């Protein structure tokens, strides 16, 4: 004979309440996940919308960086450590090459890429950067970006940060006021050796026109 355990009504009500609470918590958690996803999309969309480059320039910058990597490797192989960063069709070349001849080859290669309007050559002739140097540069870049993001008087997503051998390069479409402020912020970040401005300077009127489009 099977015996059925009778649960007192007060305990049944308590268990029911616990079940409802657990269900509500699960629903809340799911909704929070949705909000986070939507929030992330909104932030990402905001970054895209506030980029001061045209959408065409953004696409061309991506193409310039991709083509540069491929063509530089074809030209000098693995003996050089070179990075090309493009912003509004201005190509910044950083890294190391073993000889002056290789440096000239790299610079001419980048100059010959479609839609490159200007080249800023910051290549060093010498041994390739060590892994510890590359790792340190990555940390510095992250610190500078964080410092710029925390500054209320700088539109941080309008500034691209590149670090090579402790030297920080700042790119973007900014006013002289913004350039000076961003430079000051970057200089005060630990481990930064030097700050190099690769900005395109806008007048306050030009910035206002961009923001009104």
**pLDDT by residue (tens digit) across 30-74?**
434 433 333 333 333 344 457 999 999 999 999 999 999 999 999
Which of the four pLDDT bands, split at 50, 70 and 90, describes residue 111?
very high
Using CA atoms, how far apart are residues 179 and 201, in angstroms rounded to an integer? Answer: 8
Phi first, then psi: give them for residue 93, nearest 5 degrees.
Answer: -110, 120
Alpha-carbon 36 to chain mean position: 21
SS3 (DSSP) at 105: helix
- Element (H or E) spanning 44, and its range? helix 9-49
State the average pLDDT over residues 168-195: 97
**pTM across the whole model:** 0.76
Number of neighbours of residue 151 by Cβ within 10 angstroms: 13
187 pLDDT above the threshold of 80: yes
Identify each DSSP E strand in the chain by its residue range.
81-87, 90-97, 118-125, 159-164, 167-175, 194-202
Within 13 Å, how many C-alpha atoms sit on residue 2's CB side? 3
Q: Rounded mean pLDDT of 85-98?
A: 98
Nearest of 200, 114, 98, 88 to residue 106 by alpha carbon:
98
Distance CA 145, CA 160 (A): 8
What is the percentage of the chain residues whose pLDDT exceeds 90?
73
């Amino acid at each position: 004979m099977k015996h059925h355990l009778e649960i007192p009504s007060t305990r049944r009500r308590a268990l029911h309440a616990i079940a409802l609470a657990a269900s509500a918590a699960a629903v809340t958690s799911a909704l929070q996940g949705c909000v986070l996803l939507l929030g992330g999309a909104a932030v990402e969309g905001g970054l895209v919308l506030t980029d001061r480059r045209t959408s065409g320039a953004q696409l061309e910058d991506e193409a310039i960086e991709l083509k540069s990597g491929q063509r530089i490797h074809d030209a000098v192989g693995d003996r050089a450590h070179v990075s090309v960063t493009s912003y509004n069709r201005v190509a910044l070349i950083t890294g190391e090459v073993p000889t002056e001849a290789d440096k000239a080859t790299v610079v001419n290669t980048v100059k010959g890429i479609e839609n490159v309007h200007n080249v800023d050559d910051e290549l060093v002739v010498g041994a390739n950067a060590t892994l510890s140097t590359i790792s340190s540069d990555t940390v510095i870049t992250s610190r500078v970006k964080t410092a710029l993001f925390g500054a209320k008087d700088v539109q941080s997503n309008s500034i691209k940060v590149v670090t090579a051998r402790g030297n920080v390069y700042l790119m973007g479409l900014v006013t002289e006021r913004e350039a000076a402020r961003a430079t000051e912020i970057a200089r005060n970040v630990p481990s930064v050796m030097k700050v190099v401005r690769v900005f395109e300077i806008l007048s306050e009127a030009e910035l206002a026109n961009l923001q009104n489009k």
